[in-house]
């Protein structure tokens, strides 16, 4: 009987977490990406609308996040290195709650070459979600959200890579 109760509680906890992740995702698949602007490393203001016609991967992370630290090296090796020279793809990685210096220091300490952007006040993140990281959103060339993921697991990451490949115009 104890085993049954234990298993029931674990299943219930996972189900509640899944429902919470859905409830905390503020955007829906097939809807247009929210309009937002951010500053690059030089201080230049960039708008998401600047990337209309491109496939865009938006990733939210934090330096202290364990799953983020597992995912980001794969984003570098399997996505950024593969598509960095493709004019039809853009990668936007936002450090949720981090300023530019913190993001820059993290990038350097981890040996990343992909671009990172600061989102100290969660101004971009809050358009997409209210909690949980890492978060990934894939935007197609028409500006619609076609993929949303919370957390990290390799099977879902492989699905993301396949979707990117299918959506990039060569």
Question: pLDDT tens, 88-147?
Answer: 999 999 999 999 999 999 999 999 999 999 999 999 999 999 889 999 999 999 999 999
66 within a domain of the structure (yes/no): yes
What does the pLDDT average to over 49-70? 97
How far apart CA 90 and CA 58 sit, in angstroms, is 9
7 within a domain of the structure (yes/no): no
Strands 117-119 and 89-96: parallel
pLDDT of residue 26: 60
Q: What is the tally of structural domains in the chain?
A: 1
Q: Report the SS3 class of residue 111.
A: coil
Cα dihedral 124, 127, 132, 136 sign: negative
pTM, to two decimals: 0.85
CATH code, 55: 3.40.30.10
Given pLDDT bands bounded at 50, 70 and 90, which one contains residue 17? Answer: very low
How far apart CA 76 and CA 65 sit, in angstroms, is 17
Structural domain of 83: 27-167
The proportion of the chain whose per-residue pLDDT surpasses 70, expressed as a percent, equals 84
pLDDT of residue 27: 73
CA distances from 96 to 3, 60, 68, 117 (A): 40, 6, 11, 9
Residue 31 has pLDDT above 50, yes or no: yes
The proportion of the chain whose per-residue pLDDT surpasses 90, expressed as a percent, equals 77
Q: Report the SS3 class of residue 44.
A: coil
């Amino acid at each position: 009987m104890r085993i049954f109760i234990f298993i029931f509680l674990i299943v219930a906890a996972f189900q509640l977490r899944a429902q919470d992740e859905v409830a905390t995702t503020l955007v829906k698949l097939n809807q247009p990406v929210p309009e937002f602007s951010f500053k690059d490393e030089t201080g230049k203001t960039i708008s998401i609308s600047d990337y209309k016609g491109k496939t865009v991967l938006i990733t939210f992370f934090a330096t202290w996040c364990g799953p983020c630290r597992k995912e980001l090296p794969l984003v570098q090796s399997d996505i950024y290195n593969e598509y960095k020279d493709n004019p039809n793809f853009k990668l936007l990685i936002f450090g949720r709650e981090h300023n530019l210096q913190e993001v820059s220091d993290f990038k350097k300490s981890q040996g990343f070459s992909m671009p990172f952007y600061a989102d100290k006040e969660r101004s971009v993140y809050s358009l997409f979600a209210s909690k949980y990281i890492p978060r990934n959103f894939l935007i197609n060339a028409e500006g619609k959200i076609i993929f949303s993921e919370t957390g990290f697991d390799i099977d879902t990451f492989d699905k993301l890579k396949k979707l990117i490949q299918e959506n990039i115009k060569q």
